[in-house]
Amino acid sequence: MERNNRKPVVGITQGDGNGIGYEVIIKALSDPRSLESFTPVIYGSSKVFGFYRKLIHNLDQMDTYVIQNASEAKPKRINILNCLPDNVYVEPGQSTPEAARSAITSLERAVADIKKGDIDVLVTAPINKKAMDAEGFGNTGHTEYLQKEFNAEDVLMFMVSESLKISVVTGHVPLKDVPTLVTEDKIVNKLRLMSESLRRDFGVVAPKIAVLGLNPHCGDGGLLGDEELKTIIPAVRRANDEGILAFGPYSPDGYFGLGHYSRFDATLAMYHDQGLAPFKAIAFQDGVNFTAGLPVVRTSPDHGTAFEMAGRDLADPQSMKSAIYTAIDIFRNRIAYDRLQAGKLGK
């Protein structure tokens, strides 16, 4: 069957098995109608799945199928790919080396399968970055790991929802390092990635992107910092010269406080919390973390492991649901966009 005419195969990593990953995955897949539009493959353990399944109340029967390879996945089933040892141990709410190693194994297996084409998109459940680093993961997060795995020159941590799309120039770095890492070239590169992703992944014909300042009040003409004058404004002008509809810089407090973000297709912030704090305040329930710039589609819920509520049937699955369906939408948008571009070249 032609790739875009069949149900997408959605690979879902378990994340940290002691967090809320399994709970939000199970709840997100609990409605059997969801299996009419895609085929899920969970990378983890049928034993751990069963453990969390019993802790969740008011669930109907779930049609699961245990597999050893993604190519064995059955439609209309929740496929569980056993890639962890049979004696895997679960301690809800605890950070353990075993859980970190299991998260790494789950991710590595899923990435290997998406490279082979056995799954169509990748959805990653939350991980404990510190615990994984202690076990030799060697990356500060999913985004950095995937960039290396796919040899991507640059990638974009793109937080998306119905009401707001936002990305950052600098990601998981200490705040003290941000001013030196915010360069004109980096801003322009991020704007290129954003513009291309909005066109190809989200179907925006002529995307308009707002750029935020770094300093309070955008530096007040240099009084509170000169990064806007020396770096950000020149970057916006360079992007404009390339045909990118970038505007700014805007002062973040007024920009979000007055709802100006609704006038743009996306927003580029300078550092992690400048962008993610307002995003989670505005769109936490249905927010999705999407990695733009990769040759494959990867999304994730916009929340963490939430150890404090693990195993207590308290986790809200809405962000996981949004991550799954956003990945499917992007996958289909890319097929349509690429076909359109190929058609134009063929004329």
CATH number of the domain that 264 lies in? 3.40.718.10
- Tell me which residue of 1, 8, 2, 6 sits closest to 40, measured CA to CA: 8
Of 260, 287, 314, which closes a domain? 287
Verify that 170 and 234 share a domain, yes or no. Answer: yes
Average pLDDT over residues 258-279: 95
Of 267, 287, 307, which closes a domain? 287
Verify that 93 and 182 share a domain, yes or no. Answer: no
Going 160 to 166 to 170 to 176, the CA torsion angle's sign is negative
Verify that 275 and 340 share a domain, yes or no. Answer: no
Verify that 197 and 133 share a domain, yes or no. Answer: no
Q: Is pLDDT of 38 > 80?
A: yes
What pTM, to 2 d.p., does this model score? 0.92
Verify that 254 and 312 share a domain, yes or no. Answer: no
Q: Is pLDDT of 48 > 50?
A: yes
The count of structural domains within the chain is 2
Verify that 40 and 140 share a domain, yes or no. Answer: yes
Verify that 61 and 132 share a domain, yes or no. Answer: yes
The single-letter DSSP state of residue 235 is H
Verify that 138 and 250 share a domain, yes or no. Answer: no
Q: Which domain holds residue 345?
A: 1-152+294-347
Going 26 to 32 to 35 to 37, the CA torsion angle's sign is negative
Q: How confident is the model at residue 2 (pLDDT cuts 50, 70, 90)?
A: very low
Verify that 260 and 169 share a domain, yes or no. Answer: yes
More confident residue, 61 or 126: 126
Amino acid 81: pLDDT: 98
333: tokens are: 């948008």
Of 287, 306, 328, which closes a domain? 287
HSE-CB for 130 with a 13 A CA cutoff: 5
Verify that 195 and 136 share a domain, yes or no. Answer: no
Verify that 13 and 39 share a domain, yes or no. Answer: yes
Amino acid 1: pLDDT: 39
The model's pLDDT over 220-262, given as tens digits with 9 standing for 90+, comes to: 888 888 999 999 999 999 999 999 999 999 999 999 999 999 9
CB of 244 closer than 8 Å to CB of 206: no
Verify that 168 and 146 share a domain, yes or no. Answer: no
Q: How confident is the model at residue 347 (pLDDT cuts 50, 70, 90)?
A: low
Q: Is pLDDT of 94 > 80?
A: yes
Rounded percentage of the chain residues whose pLDDT exceeds 90? 87
